[in-house]
Structure 1
Amino acid sequence: MPHLWLRAEHRDNETRVGLTPKGAAALVASGIEVNVEASPTRVIPDQAYADAGCAMVPSQSWPDAPRDAIIFGLKELPDDGTPLPHRHIMFGHAFKGQPAGLRLLHRFKAGGGTLLDLEYLTDDTGRRVAAFGYWAGYAGAAVALKCWCAQQRGTRAGPIGSYDSSTHLLTELQAELVATGSHRPNALIIGALGRVGTGAADLCTAMGVATTKWDMTETASGGPFPEVLAHDLFFNCILARPGTPVFVPADATTRPRQLSVISDIACDPDSDFSPIKLYDHTTSWDAPALRVHDSPPLDVTAIDNLPSMLPLESSEDYAEQLLPSLMQLKAADAPVWIRAAQTFRDHVARL
């Protein structure tokens, strides 16, 4: 039977988790051994996992876990260059040529381990079995509106934080919009039919923001897309890949535009395939808005762990989606894990 080791996240502002106590109890009942690292920041308390029958271990002790343990976390590992001998389930962001991703792959190659990337866990139709996309879109739209409100005040958006619930977020955001004394902006969403776009659209609807919803049909021409510049807000909800059109070219700041906030929710700026050419690095919780042009202002917001703004709701949703696949770890021939391992081997072979 497999041995699953739920590690504590080390990244700042990352309190999400991919396994709830309810899910852990189901794994334990099925015969899977589950260790959980203590974490003072995880949105779900340690005691809840202990009560579910998990064996608690010290925080960040996974490097010393038995070699047969499957290390499960969400965000990146410490970038210390050490070889990685275990199997890891995580978001590696390592398969599209990103510099940090290449370093990670070399560490797996050196240690003999395997990256089972959560982004590449797919069913037989190629659809991801679990995704944080809805909450990324929801939170990303909220941050974009905060950036727009700051512009109306003649400033730039300040630090953001996490919320106990989406209700708390909506209440705060509504007050900010009212305080501007301005009209509500409008928005263009590309990727509106997917999980991310749906989340962004739902937040906009809740805040009275009119949206234009585009998906593959509307972008099939390959561009250019002057409509992007004709909206106040633009939400990119499409994962960058070969063939993705450019939605915002590098010279967009020199063109006539209504656009004042770009929310790159898909957030892959260091990929060659990024459809937004105005910036090359993510923004942060402390400084969510990158000013790429001063007058009239144009800000880009691109935070790569947006669902952490709503950690409990996003964790419970994601964990419920992922649990059936975790249960399949017991089967050596489970297609979802076989495909993920082959994807890793294909990319390591190209190093």
Structure 2
Amino acid sequence: VSTQPTIWLRAEGKAFERRTPLTPTAAASLADAGISVIVERSEVRTYTDADYASVGCSLVEAGSWESAPMHAYILGLKELPESTQPLHHRHIYFAHAFKGQAGWKELLLRFQRGGGALYDLEYLVDSAGDRVAAFGHWAGFAGAAVASLAWSVRHSEELPDFAPLTAYPDKRALIEHSHHQLSNCPAVPKAIVIGAGGRCGRGAAELFRELDVDLTLWDLEETRDGGPFEQILEYDIFVNCVFVSTRIPPFLTSELLARPRRLSIICDVSCDPSGDLNPLPIYNHCTTFSNPILRMGESENPLGLIAIDHLPSLLPKESSEDFSNQLLPHLLKLEAPEEGVWAGARRKYEQALKEL
């Protein structure tokens, strides 16, 4: 009996989600190693069905993972379709279920009832505790771009509103569009990035530097004393890139935002409004590609909040290639899921079950 696993790439159901954790090139590498790859058809994925077929993947209908063979790992990115059905398979995706987020209990109960298991991509970590595959750089880069576009719309008479957001062919196209929009504005914005030392913060800083924005970077040193931070009100744009794993004082509060402020755009790249640890407890639901900005504040000095939980989809091809390249070496080791990063993710899941 072959010990080689099967990887079943499911079609994403989330609106505007065009990324994939597995590119055709990576699928070919898995096939070369004797791992069979089944791919659900998708009309929105940034790679076509034909791209996968051309490297030898079997194509199946979207959503057919529910009847996949039991030894298959179901690989995806974003949440599973809403359902109460028990989950029988081993799933690999970003489930957002280990920090008290909305719906976590119901999801874990489905796994528990079905005897399946969750290997959450966020918790694939190496021996130093660092994540082995992350979209953070692209989330920060895209978040800073959307924030600058939103600010441009606010501060130019000529520019149309930019909703809905749509994907860009590559980062150069996104930079050029952002640059063009800013050139219609009378001044350059002042921006602050908090969490500037991580992948996400470095991505945001890279985009802002491309645009020659007046940039301030904060990391652990600057936030050590705990918020709320009145200084944030002195910037035009605030991008939050902090990865929070313990409860910290909020960076901003509704009371603080009621004071006189220059701040007009917030982009919460970390985007965890339903979690217990959210450092921006000023809103309670995400925004979307079709409706990117939550309008807050009084009409004479409005405040726009961007909180899209899949910003890298703005650059689906580059972000997918990068993520897939990071994940591939670990997918190649899936025949030994009791070792390495997979064992750690499994332990995280089993700890979470104990909290039910």
TM-score by length of 2: 0.95
Residue 133 (structure 2) pairs with residue 130 (structure 1): yes
Per-residue deviation at 1:103? 2.0
CA distance in 1, matches of 2:297, 2:254: 12
CA distance in 1, matches of 2:283, 2:309: 14
Identify which of 184, 189, 196 aligns with 2:188.
Answer: 184
Equivalent residue letter for 1:285: F
Bigger mean CA deviation after superposition, 160-169 or 100-109: 100-109
User: Is the 2:156–2:184 Cα contact (8 Å) retained in structure 1?
Assistant: no
CA distance in 2, matches of 1:272, 1:333: 31
Aligned residue number for residue 11 of structure 1: 14
User: Is the 1:71–1:88 Cα contact (8 Å) retained in structure 2?
Assistant: yes
Q: CA RMSD in A?
A: 1.4
Per-residue deviation at 1:153? 3.9
User: Is the 1:157–1:287 Cα contact (8 Å) retained in structure 2?
Assistant: no
Per-residue deviation at 1:123? 0.3
CA distance in 1, matches of 2:349, 2:330: 18
Aligned residue number for residue 248 of structure 2: 244
Aligned residue number for residue 147 of structure 2: 144
Aligned residue number for residue 170 of structure 2: 165
Q: Alignment partner of 1:162: what SS?
A: coil
User: Is the 1:279–1:292 Cα contact (8 Å) retained in structure 2?
Assistant: no
CA distance in 1, matches of 2:175, 2:280: 28
Equivalent residue letter for 2:154: Q
Identify which of 228, 234, 257 aligns with 1:230.
Answer: 234
Per-residue deviation at 1:157? 5.0
Superposed structure 1 runs of 4+ greater than 4 Å apart: 154-157
Deviations 1:13-55 (A, max 9, x none): 0110111111111111111111111111111111221221222
Equivalent residue letter for 1:212: T
User: Is the 2:7–2:74 Cα contact (8 Å) retained in structure 1?
Assistant: yes
CA distance in 1, matches of 2:337, 2:171: 39
Per-residue deviation at 1:253? 2.2
User: Is the 2:140–2:201 Cα contact (8 Å) retained in structure 1?
Assistant: yes
Q: Alignment partner of 2:254: what SS?
A: coil
User: Is the 1:189–1:237 Cα contact (8 Å) retained in structure 2?
Assistant: yes
Aligned residue number for residue 286 of structure 2: 282
Q: Alignment partner of 2:296: what SS?
A: strand
Identify which of 31, 34, 39 aligns with 1:31.
Answer: 34
User: Is the 1:15–1:311 Cα contact (8 Å) retained in structure 2?
Assistant: yes
Residue 334 (structure 2) pairs with residue 329 (structure 1): yes
User: Is the 1:240–1:271 Cα contact (8 Å) retained in structure 2?
Assistant: no
